[in-house]
Amino acid sequence: MAAVARLKVRKPGTGRIIGDKFVGRAIRIYIPLIILLVVTLFPFYWMAVTSFKSASELFDFSVSPLWVRQPTLEWYTHLFTQTNFPRWALNTAVVATVSTLISLFCSVLAGYSLARLRYRGADSIGWGIFVTYLVPPTLLFLPLTFVIRELHLFNNLWALILTYPTFLIPFCTWMLMGFFKGIPRELEEAALVDGATRIQAMVRIAIPLALPGILAAALFAFTLSWNEFLYALIFMNDSLVKTIPVGVTQELIHGDEFFWGELMAAALLGSVPVAVLYSFFVDYFVAGMTAGAVKG
C-alpha cells in the first residue's frame, strides 16, 4: 500500500497529486475558480456596462441588461463638464501623494530605529505602534473634528494630509520593521567598523536594501489614502476640496434621484488609478499585505 502511494507521488509543488484526471481537476479547481471569478468581477463589469448606457437604456430591463446596445459617452462628458469631478481627482491625488510621502518619511526612520537599534524601551514602543494600528478611525473622528477646528483646517486639504498618517504610519512602520529585520546585520556592521557613522550605514546600506519594502509600503499607503472616506467626509464640506469618494457619494446623488450612469462612470474612473498601480505592482502588494501576517 505504502509502495503504491509512493509511486504515485509526483514532483512536489506542481499541485498534481494522487488521482489527477482532467475531470477531477475541473470539478476540484476550474469550476470553483470560475464561480469565484464571476462573483468577484461582476460588480466591476456592471459598473462599466452601466456607465456606457444611455438614460433610457439604463432602466430598460425588457431585454438583457447585461449588455450595452447603444454605447454612449454622455455620462463621462457630463462628469467632466458639469461636475467638480476633475477637481476631486486632483485633490485625491495631492492628498494621497503628500500623506504617503510624510508617512514613508516617518515610518522608514521609525521602522529602522525599532528594527535595528538597541535601546531601552524599543520593544514596548514597537508594540505600542502596533496597538495604534488597531485603533480604528471610527473611535477617533469625533474628537479629531475638535483638533482640526482648533488648527483651522476645515475645508483645507492639510486636514487630510495630516490625519491620514495616523493609520498609514503604524501600518508602514510595522511592515518596514519586517523588511529591515531581513537585511543581514553584518552588512551594516562592516560599514561601521570601516568608520561609517550609524546614519551613513542607515542611509547608504539599510535603506537601499529595503527599497522593495519601501515601495510596497508606498503602494499600500497611497491606496489606503486614495480610498479613505470617513475623515474626508467630515473635514471637507466645500465641493472644491472634496476627494473622489466623498464627491461621488455626496454630490452625484440629488435628493432621491440617482444618476446611476454618471455615478458608475465616476466610480470606474476613481478606481482606475489604484487598479493600474495595482496591476503593475501586484507582487509588491501581496508582499506588503502578507509581510505582517506571515512574519507576525
Partner 1 sequence: MGTAVRTNAAPAWHRRRVRIYDREAPLGYLLLVPTLLVLGIFLLYPFLFGIWLSLTDSELGNLGNFIGLGNYRFEWSNTDGVFYTAVVNTFLYTGITTVFKLSLGLIMALLLNQAFPFRRFVRAALLLPYIIPTVLSYEAWRWMFDPTFSVVNWLLVNTHLAAYPGPNWLGVPFNAMAALMIVNVWRGTPFYAIAFLAGMQVIPLDLYEAARVDGATRWQQFTNITLPMLRPVLLVVLLLSTILTFADFQGPFVLTNGAPYNSTQLLSIWAYQWGIPGGAISLGAAISLVLFPLLTIVVAGVLFLLRRPE
149 binds partner 1 (CB under 8 A): yes
Judged by beta carbon, residue 132 or residue 155, the one nearer partner 1 is 132
One of 52, 75, 88, 112 touching partner 1 (CB under 8 A) = 112
88 binds partner 1 (CB under 8 A): no
Q: Which of 218, 230, 233 is nearest to 274 (CA)?
A: 218
127 binds partner 1 (CB under 8 A): no
Measured between alpha carbons, how far is 274 from 280 in angstroms, rounded to an integer?
10
Q: In the numeric block, which cell numbers belong to residue 269?
A: 474612473
Residue 278 CB, nearest approach to partner 1 (Å): 5
Judged by beta carbon, residue 5 or residue 23, the one nearer partner 1 is 5
Measured between alpha carbons, how far is 18 from 142 in angstroms, rounded to an integer?
58
Residues 27-86 that bind partner 1 (CB under 8 A): 29-30, 32-33, 36-37, 39-41, 43-44, 46-47, 50, 58-59, 61, 65-66
Which part of the chain contacts partner 1 (CB under 8 A), choosing from 69-77, 80-88, 205-213, 268-276?
A: 268-276
293 binds partner 1 (CB under 8 A): yes
Contact between 172 and 107 under an 8 Å Cβ cutoff? The reply is yes
Q: In the numeric block, which cell numbers belong to residue 267?
A: 466610480
Residue 81 CB, nearest approach to partner 1 (Å): 21
The pattern of x and - marking residues 273 through 292 that bind partner 1 according to CB under 8 A reads: -xx--xx--x--xx--xx-x
Quote the strand ranges of the chain, DSSP E: 253-254, 257-258
271 binds partner 1 (CB under 8 A): yes
Judged by beta carbon, residue 72 or residue 249, the one nearer partner 1 is 249
Distance spanning both ends of the chain, measured CA to CA:
41
Measured between alpha carbons, how far is 286 from 81 in angstroms, rounded to an integer?
38
One of 72, 97, 145, 156 touching partner 1 (CB under 8 A) = 145
CA distances from 12 to 15, 22, 30, 43, 163 (A): 7, 19, 20, 37, 48
Judged by beta carbon, residue 69 or residue 198, the one nearer partner 1 is 198
Long-range contacts from 264-267, C-beta under 8 angstroms, 24+ separation: 264/46, 264/47, 264/48, 264/50, 264/51, 264/75, 265/51, 265/75, 265/76, 265/79, 266/79, 266/83, 266/85, 267/47, 267/51
Which part of the chain contacts partner 1 (CB under 8 A), choosing from 70-78, 81-89, 207-215, 226-234?
A: 226-234
One of 74, 227, 239, 251 touching partner 1 (CB under 8 A) = 227
